[in-house]
Amino acid sequence: MEASAPANPNPPAAAGASARTRSERKLAWMLCAPAVLAMLAVTAYPIGYAIVLSLQQVDLRFPDEGGFVGLDNYVSVLSSQLWWTDFFNTVFILVTTVAIELVLGMAIALVMHRAIFGRGVVRTSVLIPYGIITVVAAFAWQFAFAPESGFVNNLPLISDEMDWFGGRFSSFAVIIMAEVWKTTPFMALLLLAGLVTIDSGLYEAAKVDGASAWQRFTRITLPLMKPAILVALLFRSLDAFRVFDTIFIMTRGAQDTESVSILGFNQLISRLNLGLGSAVSVLIFLCVFLIAFLFVRGFGARLEEGRPGG
Amino acid sequence: MGRGSRDYALWSIGILLVLLFALIPVLWLISVSLKPPEAITDGRFIPSEVSFDNYKSLFEGGIDDSPFIKPLINSIGIALITTVIAITLAAFTAYAIARLEFPGKRVILAGALAIAMFPPISTVGPLFDMWRALGLYDTWPGLIIPYLTFSLPLAIYVLVAFFREIPWELEQAAQVDGATPFQAFTKVIVPLAAPGVFTAAILVFIFAWNDFLFAISLTSSDASRTVPAALAFFTGESSFTAPTGSIAAAAVVVTVPIIVFVLIFQRRIVAGLTSGAVKG
C-alpha cells in the first residue's frame, strides 16, 4: 500500500508536520478504537476465560464442586473415543466438502467467466444459496431425503426404501451435499475473482501454438490462479472445520455424525459442563490456528490478498 | 456453423445445470409449504393440490401464541441493529485505515483477519457464563454483541476495499476550503462511499440473519430467540405429526424476501464478497 498522501504535498516546517502527524494519529486511533474494542470483547477476553475455565472443574449442575484441576479436562477429552470420532468426522467433512466445492466452484466460475450468453442468469442463481439461512437449507435437504416425505427416494435408480439418516455414511452424504450446496457460491466467486485477473492474451497465444483447452486450463489457468485458489481453500477449510448448523438440524449427531463443534455445544450448553466444554473449545481453537498456519507457512497462502469469509 | 451451435448447446447445458443446482431446494421448500397436511408425505416434487394452511398456522394466535411472529420480530430487529452499529464502527475504522497514516494499521487488519477465522464455538461457553452473570442472557444485546464482533472484520475489509477506490482529492479540496477532517468525512466522503457502505450492510445483515450457534446457545425463550433457532424447536400440531409443513412455510417466509433482495443487489454483493480478493 502506498503511503497515503498528506493534505499538503510540500510539508511545512518540521514542527508543523509532526503536530499534524500527531493529530492524524490521534484521530485514527479514535476512529478505530470502538471497532477494535468490540472485536476484542467477544474474542480475546472469552478465549482467555475459556482457557481459565478449561483448567478448572466447572459444572453448573454441581456449582459447589470445583477448583483448579490442571490439565485433567484436556486429558479426559483427548483420551475419550468421542473426541477422536468427532475429530475424524469433522476432518472427513472438511476434506470432502472442500474438494467437491473446489471442482464445482471452478466449473461454475468458468461458466460465469466464459459463457457466451447467460452470465447474468448464472451469477444471479449462484447467489441464491448464499442468501439462504443454513438452517433453512439443512431442513430443505432433510425433507428432500426423508424416507417418509422426500422426493429423492422416488427418483429413478434410488431405492424407495433407502433410509438416508439411518446409517453413518449415508447421513454424511446428505450433510456434505447440503454443505456443498450452501457454500459453493462463495468458492465460485472467490475463484472468479482470480480468474478475471488472467490476461486473455495468454490464451490466444497458447491457442496459436496449438494448446488444447485442457492444456490451456492446466498450464495457464491453474498456475496463475494458485494464490486465489489457496485463499479460497483456506477460508473454506476454516469455515468447514466449524460445521455445526447442518449437522444439528439433520441428525443432531446421531449415527456417529457429530462434529467437534457439536461436541463442544453439547458439553457447554446441554450438559452445562463448562470445564470440559471449554477444553473442547480451546482444542478447536488450536485446530483452527493449525489449519491457518499450515496454509500460510506450508502452502504459502498470501493472506493480504484474502478476505474474511462470509 | 457446426462448432458455434455445438458451443451454444454446451453452454446452455452448463447454465441449465447451474440453475437447477441453485433452485431445486428452494422450489422443493415452496412445494412442501403448499402441501395440505395429509399430502406432506406423498413425496411428490410438485404438489397435487395447493393449500395455504401451513402459512395460516404460523400466524395463528397472534403475537402471544404464534410460534413464529416473535422470532421473526427478533430476527429482523437484531439483524437490523447489528447492521447499523457494525457499519458505523467499521466505517470509522476503514476510513482511518484507507486514509490516515498511523502505527498499528497493519495490526488492526491482521487482527480483523484473525477474528474472521476465529471459531465461534470457542466463545460460546464463556459468553454463556458471562451473559448470565451480566443479565445479557436471552436478551437482544446478548446476541447483537457477538454478531457485531464476528461481522466487523467482514465489514471493515469490504469498506477498506471500497474506500481505497474513492477519489480522495475531493476530500483534500474540502480541507483546503477550510473543512475539518471530520467535516470532509461527513460532507464529501460519506455520499461517495454510500454504495460500498450499502454492500457491507447487506453482507452484515445476511450474516446476522443466518446465525444459528449463538442463537440457540445464548437464548432460552421467545424474548430473543431468532427464526433459525425457533425453527429447530418447532413442534407439530400433536405429538404424532411432524412440523414439516409449518417449518417449510416459515422457511419460505424468511427466505423469499432475502432472495429478492439478493437478486436486486447482486452486482454489489458480488463486488463485496470478492473485494480484497483481487488487487486493484
Write the DSSP assignment of A152-214 as a string of letters: GGGSTTS-TT--GGGSHHHHHHHHHHHHHHHHHHHHHHHHHHHHTTS-HHHHHHHHHTT--HH
CA distance B35 to B244: 10
Instruction: Please name each of the domains of chain B with its CATH number.
Output: 2-51 (no CATH), 59-274 (1.10.3720.10)
A31, A126, A308: residue with CB nearest B93: A31
Q: Does A192 contact chain B (CB < 8 Å)?
A: yes
pLDDT at B184: 81
CA distance A271 to chain B (A): 11
Is the interface score ipTM higher than 0.90?
A: no
Which amino acid is residue A34, in one-letter code? P
CA distance B138 to B154: 26
pLDDT at A10: 45
Number of Cβ within 10 Å of residue B80's Cβ equals: 15
Sign of the alpha-carbon dihedral angle for B96, B100, B102, B108: positive
CA distance B191 to B167: 12
- Which chain B residues are Cβ-neighbours of A134 within 8 angstroms? 210, 212, 228
- Which chain B residues are Cβ-neighbours of A141 within 8 angstroms? 25
B113, B207, B217: residue with CB nearest A303: B113
Q: Does B189 contact chain A (CB < 8 Å)?
A: no
pLDDT at B21: 82
pLDDT at B82: 95
Bridge-partner residues for B278, per DSSP? B275
Which amino acid is residue A287, in one-letter code? C
Pick from B68, B79, B59: which is nearest to B231 by CA?
Answer: B68
CA distance A183 to B131: 31
Q: CB of A83 within 8 A of CB of A263?
A: yes
Task: Report the residue of B11, B18, B175 to disrupt the A interface, i.e. the one with the largest count of A CBs within 10 Å.
Answer: B18
Q: CB of A113 within 8 A of CB of A191?
A: no
pLDDT at A284: 92
Encode burial over B187-210: b for 16+ CB neighbours within 10 A, e otherwise. ebbeebbeebbebbbbbbbbbbbb
* Strand ranges, E, within chain A: 56-57, 67-68
CA distance A68 to B188: 57
Cβ separation B100–A25 shorter than 8 A: yes
A43, A140, A192: residue with CB nearest B28: A140
Q: Does B255 contact chain A (CB < 8 Å)?
A: yes
Cβ separation B251–A136 shorter than 8 A: yes
Cβ separation A268–B262 shorter than 8 A: no
Q: Does B233 contact chain A (CB < 8 Å)?
A: no
CA distance A165 to A145: 8
Cβ separation A32–B92 shorter than 8 A: yes
Q: Does A278 contact chain B (CB < 8 Å)?
A: yes
Q: CB of A164 within 8 A of CB of B52?
A: no
CA distance A83 to A254: 15
- Which chain A residues are Cβ-neighbours of B254 within 8 angstroms? 133, 136
CA distance A126 to chain B (A): 6
pLDDT at A304: 53
CA distance A198 to A222: 10
CA distance A310 to chain B (A): 7
Whole-prediction pTM: 0.86
Mean pLDDT of chain B: 84
pLDDT tens digits for range A99-148: 999 999 998 888 888 777 777 778 788 888 888 999 999 999 998 888 87
Q: CB of A174 within 8 A of CB of A284?
A: no
CA distance B253 to chain A (A): 11
Nearest CA in chain A to B46: A151
Residues 222-251 of A with CB under 8 A from B: 228, 231, 235, 238, 241-242, 244-245, 248-249
Cβ separation B261–A131 shorter than 8 A: yes
Long-range residue pairs from B232-240, CB within 8 A, at least 24 positions apart, any chain:
B232/A135, B232/A248, B232/A249, B234/B67, B235/B67, B237/B37, B237/B57
Cβ separation B248–A306 shorter than 8 A: no
Residues 6+ apart with CB under 8 A from B134: none
Averaged over successive runs of 10 residues, the pLDDT of chain A (310 residues) comes to: 43 59 86 88 86 85 75 87 92 95 90 77 83 91 85 78 83 93 89 85 88 87 87 88 92 87 90 88 91 81 52
Residues 96-155 of A with CB under 8 A from B: 107-108, 111, 115-118, 121-137, 139-141, 143-144, 148-151, 153-154
* Strand ranges, E, within B37-129: none
Residues 6+ apart with CB under 8 A from A215: A206
Bridge-partner residues for A67, per DSSP? A57
Using CA atoms, how far residue A75 sits from A55, A261, B174, B194, in Å, is 11, 18, 63, 53
pLDDT at B279: 35
Residue A17 Cα to chain centre, angstroms: 45
Classify residue B278 by its DSSP letter. Answer: B
* Strand ranges, E, within B57-169: none
Positions in chain B short of pLDDT 50 = 1, 277-280
pLDDT at A181: 93
Q: Does A73 contact chain B (CB < 8 Å)?
A: no
